[in-house]
C-alpha cells in the first residue's frame, strides 16, 4: 500500500470525497440503533408526540444513509478502477523500457499474468478494502455508543474478539504461501496457453496436440491442488471466525435479558445493543474475505513490483543528445561483445552463452554506402545490427554515428534514424495500412502506397479483398512469409531512416520479386547508409562493398567479384547458402 500510495494520490478528489461521504454514512448508520432506542422507550412510556418525531428523524437518517452510501461506494470504486488502469499503464510503460535481456529470460505468460490477473487482485482489494475498513470504523463508533449505554454489557459483547483475532492470524499464515503459489501456477498456465496459441503451427505439424493437452492438464491440476488446499484452510477457520460473533450475540441476549428483567437496562437499550451486536458482525463476516484478498493482493503486488524493480540495462545517458542532419557515417571501433546470460530471442547468430561473438572488430561505413555483411551462422552478422540499434551495449570499444558515440545519443532519436527489418517480421493484428504506418501514424495514404510500391507489396495488397484495409491475422500469419517481409520492409521505408539495417529481410521472397525490390531500393536508399546482413548472392549484389566475418572478426572485404576470386571461405558460404535456398524451395 505504501508503494501504491503515489498512484492513489493522483485520484485524490474521488478518494477524499469517498472518505468524507463514507464517514457521514457511517455516523448515520451507527446512529440508527440509538434513535430506535429512543423511539422504543418513548413508545413504552406512552409519549406519542416524541414517537412521531423520532420516527421522522429515523426516516430522514435512512434517506441520508442511502444517498451517502451510494456516493461513497461510487467514489471508492472509481479510485480502485483508476488505480488499476494507472498501474497497468505503469507496468506496460516499464516493460517497454526493459532491455531484450529481460524478455530473453522471462516467459511471456508470466508477463501477461502479472499485467492482468495480478493487477486485478490488487484492484479487488482496493475496491472492497475501503468498504471493509469503513465497517471497522463503524465497529469503533458502535463500540463507543455501547460503552455509553452500558459498560459491562459492552465487555460481554466483545468477549469473543480475541478468538476472532487468533483464528484470523492462523488463516493469514496458512493462506498467504498458498496464494503466492496459486498466482505463480496461473502464470505457468498462461505461458502454456500463450505458447500453444502462438506456436499452433508447430504443435500441429508434429501432431503434438495430446502432449500439449497433457502439459495443460498437469498445470491445471497444480492449480486445482493449491486452490483446494487454500479452500480447506479457509473452511477450517472462516466458520469459526463468523460463528464467534454470533456466540457473543447469544451471550448478550442472555445477560442483557437478565438486566432488563431486573430493570437495569430499558427495552430500547437492549434492542439497541442487539442491533449494535449485529452491526459488529459485519466486519467479522467480511474479515475472512479481507484476509484472503489482502494475501492475494500482497502476493500479486510482490510479483508486479518484481517487474517494476527490474532496472533496464539500456538507458539514456544524463546528457543524451538527439541526432539531427544525419549523414550516416558509421564507425565500429575495436568492438568486443559476448552474450553471457543475455542471448537474444531474435539473434540466431548467437553462440553459446559466455563465449565472445565479436572480438576487436573495426569497421567503417561511409555516408550513403551499402555494405553487405557475410558470414557463417554464429559469426556475429546480426549482432552488428543489434548493437548499432542498442538492443545490447558493447562490452568494450564503441560505435559512432557521424562521430558521436551511440551511448550519448537519445534512444528514441537513435532508433528513429536507424531502421531495421528482421528476417522474421512481426505484424500486428490490424490493417495492412496501419502496419505499414506503424512508425509514422500520421503518414498520408499516398505515402503508405509509395512505401508499399517500393517494397513490391502494392500488387498483392491490391488483390486482397479489402486492399490496404485488410486485417491481418495474429502476427500476420494470414499472409505468406514473403508478403510479411515486404510489408515489414515498407514499414521501415516509410520512415525514410538515415541508416537502414536489412537482416535477411528478403530471405523468404523469390528472386524475381527480390530483383524488383532491389531496383526500387537503389532509388529509395539513395543517400541512406545501408547494412545488408545476407548470404544470398541476389541480395549481396545490391552492396557497394562486402565484409566477410569469421569468428567475430573481419577476415576480408571487397567487392563481390574480388572476394569470389580470392576467398575460398566466401565461396563456400555462398555455396552453402545457395544449397539451403534450393532445398527450401523444394
Instruction: Kindly state whether residues 371 and 266 are assigned to the same domain.
Output: no
pLDDT band at 373 (very low <50, low <70, confident <90, very high): very high
**Most confidently predicted of 14-23, 38-47, 337-346:** 14-23
3-state secondary structure 84-112: HHHHHHHHHHHHHHCCHHHHHHCCHHHHH
Q: How far apart are CA 6 and CA 4, in angstroms?
A: 6
The answer as to whether 393 is a domain residue is no
**Residue 228 buriedness (CB in 10 A; 0-12 / 13-18 / 19+):** exposed
The answer as to whether 399 is a domain residue is no
Q: Regarding predicted confidence, which is higher, 426 or 348?
A: 426
User: Mean pLDDT, to the nearest integer, of 541-557?
Assistant: 88
261-270, 278-287, 535-544: least confidently modelled range: 278-287
Mean predicted lDDT score pLDDT of the chain: 81
| Terminal C-alpha separation, the chain | 61
Which three three-digit cell numbers place residue 192?
A: 502454456
pLDDT score of 586: 44
pLDDT above 90 coverage of the chain, percent: 10
pLDDT score of 346: 41
Number of domains comprising the chain: 2
Q: How far apart are CA 153 and CA 52, in angstroms?
A: 29
Residue 223 clears pLDDT 50, i.e. is over it = yes
pLDDT score of 228: 87
Instruction: Kindly state whether residues 372 and 242 are assigned to the same domain.
Output: no
Instruction: Kindly state whether residues 131 and 273 are assigned to the same domain.
Output: yes
Instruction: Kindly state whether residues 434 and 287 are assigned to the same domain.
Output: no
pLDDT score of 283: 67
pLDDT score of 584: 47
Residue 426 clears pLDDT 90, i.e. is over it = no
Q: Regarding predicted confidence, which is higher, 210 or 508?
A: 210
Instruction: Kindly state whether residues 139 and 252 are assigned to the same domain.
Output: yes
How is the beta sheet containing 545-550 ordered, strand by strand? 418-421, 499-503, 529-533, 370-375, 545-550, 553-558
pLDDT band at 342 (very low <50, low <70, confident <90, very high): low
Residue 120 clears pLDDT 90, i.e. is over it = no
> Which CATH number do you get for residue 208?
1.20.1560.10
pLDDT band at 288 (very low <50, low <70, confident <90, very high): low
Q: Closest Cα partner for 429 from 468, 478, 464?
A: 478
Residue 459 clears pLDDT 80, i.e. is over it = yes
The last residue of a domain, from among 258, 281, 308: 308
The answer as to whether 113 is a domain residue is yes
The answer as to whether 102 is a domain residue is yes
- Structure confidence by residue, pLDDT tens digits, 513-524: 877 887 777 777
293-297, 320-324, 333-337, 533-537: least confidently modelled range: 293-297
pLDDT band at 449 (very low <50, low <70, confident <90, very high): very high
Phi/psi of residue 375, nearest 5 degrees: 175, 165
Q: How far apart are CA 228 and CA 381, in angstroms?
A: 52
Instruction: Kindly state whether residues 294 and 166 are assigned to the same domain.
Output: yes
178-192, 502-516, 519-533: least confidently modelled range: 178-192
The answer as to whether 21 is a domain residue is no
Residue 348 clears pLDDT 50, i.e. is over it = no
Question: Position of cell 550516416?
Answer: 328
1-5, 324-328, 475-479: least confidently modelled range: 475-479
**Most confidently predicted of 205-214, 406-415, 472-481:** 406-415
Residue 551, helix vs strand vs coil: coil
Instruction: Kindly state whether residues 374 and 459 are assigned to the same domain.
Output: yes
Instruction: Kindly state whether residues 104 and 210 are assigned to the same domain.
Output: yes
**What are the DSSP calls for 25-93, one per residue?**
HHHHHHHHHHHHHHHHHHHHHT-HHHHHHHHHHHHHHHHHHHHHHHHHHHHHHHHHHHHHHHHHHHHHH
Q: Regarding predicted confidence, which is higher, 586 or 200?
A: 200
CA 33 remoteness from chain centre: 48
Residue 107 clears pLDDT 70, i.e. is over it = no
The answer as to whether 5 is a domain residue is no
CA 205 remoteness from chain centre: 31
The answer as to whether 47 is a domain residue is no
Q: 480 lies in which domain range?
A: 367-379+411-585
For residues 154 and 148, the answer to whether their CB atoms sit within 8 Å is no
Residue 9: Cβ within 10 Å count: 9
The answer as to whether 29 is a domain residue is no
pLDDT score of 155: 83
Q: Closest Cα partner for 84 from 304, 291, 281?
A: 304
Give strand pairing partners of 356: 338
- Structure confidence by residue, pLDDT tens digits, 395-408: 899 999 999 999 99
**Most confidently predicted of 33-47, 90-104, 200-214, 388-402:** 388-402
Instruction: Kindly state whether residues 285 and 371 are assigned to the same domain.
Output: no
The last residue of a domain, from among 288, 308, 328: 308
pLDDT band at 474 (very low <50, low <70, confident <90, very high): low
The last residue of a domain, from among 308, 323, 344: 308
pLDDT band at 189 (very low <50, low <70, confident <90, very high): confident
pLDDT score of 16: 83
Largest CA distance in the chain: 121
pLDDT score of 448: 92
pLDDT score of 406: 93
Question: Position of cell 545490447?
Answer: 392
Instruction: Kindly state whether residues 133 and 273 are assigned to the same domain.
Output: yes
What's the pTM? 0.65
- Structure confidence by residue, pLDDT tens digits, 192-202: 776 676 666 56
- Structure confidence by residue, pLDDT tens digits, 298-321: 777 887 888 888 888 888 888 889
Question: Position of cell 509509395?
Answer: 450
Instruction: Kindly state whether residues 301 and 371 are assigned to the same domain.
Output: no
pLDDT score of 353: 45
Q: Which residues contact 125 (CB under 8 A, 6 or more apart)?
A: 293, 294, 296, 297
Instruction: Kindly state whether residues 303 and 434 are assigned to the same domain.
Output: no
pLDDT score of 250: 82
> Which CATH number do you get for residue 576?
3.40.50.300
Amino acid at each position: 500500500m505504501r508503494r501504491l500510495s503515489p498512484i492513489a494520490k493522483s485520484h485524490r478528489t474521488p478518494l477524499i470525497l469517498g472518505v468524507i461521504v463514507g464517514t457521514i454514512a457511517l455516523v448515520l448508520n451507527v446512529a440508527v440503533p440509538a434513535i430506535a432506542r429512543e423511539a422504543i422507550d418513548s413508545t413504552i412510556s406512552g409519549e406519542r408526540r416524541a414517537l412521531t418525531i423520532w420516527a421522522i428523524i429515523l426516516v430522514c437518517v435512512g434517506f441520508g444513509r442511502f444517498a451517502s452510501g451510494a456516493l461513497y461506494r461510487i467514489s471508492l470504486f472509481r479510485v480502485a478502477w483508476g488505480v488499476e488502469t494507472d498501474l497497468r499503464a505503469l507496468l506496460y510503460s516499464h516493460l517497454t523500457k526493459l532491455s531484450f535481456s529481460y524478455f530473453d529470460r522471462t516467459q511471456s505468460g508470466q508477463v501477461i499474468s502479472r499485467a492482468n490477473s495480478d493487477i486485478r487482485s490488487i484492484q479487488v482489494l482496493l475496491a472492497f478494502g475501503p468498504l471493509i475498513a469503513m465497517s471497522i470504523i463503524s465497529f469503533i463508533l458502535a463500540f463507543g455508543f455501547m460503552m455509553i449505554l452500558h459498560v459491562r454489557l459492552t465487555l460481554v459483547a466483545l468477549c469473543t474478539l480475541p478468538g476472532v483475532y487468533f483464528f484470523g492470524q492462523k488463516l493469514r499464515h496458512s493462506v498467504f504461501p498458498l496464494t503466492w503459489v496459486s498466482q505463480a501456477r496461473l502464470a505457468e498456465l498462461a505461458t502454456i496457453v500463450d505458447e500453444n496459441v502462438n506456436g499452433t503451427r508447430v504443435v500441429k505439424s508434429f501432431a503434438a496436440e495430446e502432449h500439449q493437452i497433457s502439459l495443460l492438464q498437469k498445470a491445471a491440476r497444480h492449480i486445482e491442488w493449491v486452490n483446494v488446499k487454500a479452500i480447506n484452510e479457509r473452511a477450517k477457520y472462516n466458520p469459526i471466525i463468523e460463528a464467534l460473533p454470533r456466540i457473543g450475540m447469544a451471550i448478550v441476549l442472555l445477560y442483557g435479558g437478565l438486566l432488563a428483567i431486573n430493570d437495569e437496562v430499558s427495552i430500547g437499550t437492549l434492542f439497541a445493543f442487539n442491533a449494535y451486536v449485529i452491526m459488529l458482525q459485519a466486519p467479522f463476516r467480511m474479515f475472512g474475505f479481507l484476509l484472503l484478498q489482502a494475501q492475494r493482493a500482497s502476493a500479486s503486488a510482490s510479483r508486479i513490483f518484481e517487474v517494476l524493480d527490474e532496472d533496464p540495462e539500456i538507458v539514456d545517458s544524463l546528457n543524451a543528445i538527439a541526432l539531427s542532419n544525419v549523414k550516416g557515417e558509421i564507425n565500429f571501433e575495436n568492438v568486443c561483445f559476448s552474450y553471457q546470460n543475455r542471448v537474444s530471442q531474435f539473434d540466431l547468430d548467437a553462440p553459446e552463452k559466455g563465449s565472445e561473438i565479436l572480438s576487436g572488430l573495426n569497421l567503417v561505413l561511409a555516408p550513403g554506402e551499402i555494405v553487405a555483411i557475410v558470414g557463417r551462422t554464429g559469426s556475429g552478422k546480426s549482432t552488428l545490427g543489434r548493437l548499432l540499434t542498442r538492443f545490447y551495449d558493447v562490452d568494450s570499444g564503441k560505435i559512432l554515428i557521424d562521430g558521436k558515440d551511440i551511448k550519448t545519443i537519445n534512444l528514441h532519436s537513435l532508433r528513429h534514424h536507424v531502421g531495421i527489418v528482421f528476417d522474421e517480421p512481426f505484424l500486428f493484428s490490424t490493417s495492412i495500412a496501419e502496419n505499414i504506418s506503424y512508425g509514422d501514424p500520421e503518414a498520408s495514404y499516398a505515402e503508405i502506397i509509395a512505401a508499399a510500391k517500393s517494397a513490391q507489396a502494392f500488387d498483392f495488397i491490391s488483390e486482397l479483398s479489402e486492399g490496404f484495409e485488410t486485417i491481418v491475422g495474429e502476427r500476420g500469419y494470414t499472409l505468406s512469409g514473403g508478403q510479411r517481409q515486404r510489408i515489414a520492409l515498407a514499414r521501415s521505408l516509410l520512415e525514410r531512416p538515415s541508416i537502414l539495417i536489412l537482416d535477411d529481410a528478403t530471405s523468404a521472397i523469390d528472386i524475381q520479386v527480390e530483383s524488383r525490390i532491389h531496383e526500387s531500393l537503389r532509388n529509395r536508399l539513395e543517400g541512406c547508409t545501408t547494412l545488408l546482413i545476407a548470404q544470398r548472392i541476389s541480395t549481396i549484389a545490391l552492396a557497394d562493398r562486402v565484409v566477410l566475418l569469421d569468428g567475430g572478426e573481419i577476415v576480408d572485404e571487397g567487392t563481390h567479384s574480388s572476394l569470389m576470386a580470392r576467398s575460398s571461405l566466401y565461396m563456400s558460404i555462398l555455396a552453402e547458402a545457395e544449397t539451403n535456398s534450393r532445398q527450401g524451395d523444394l
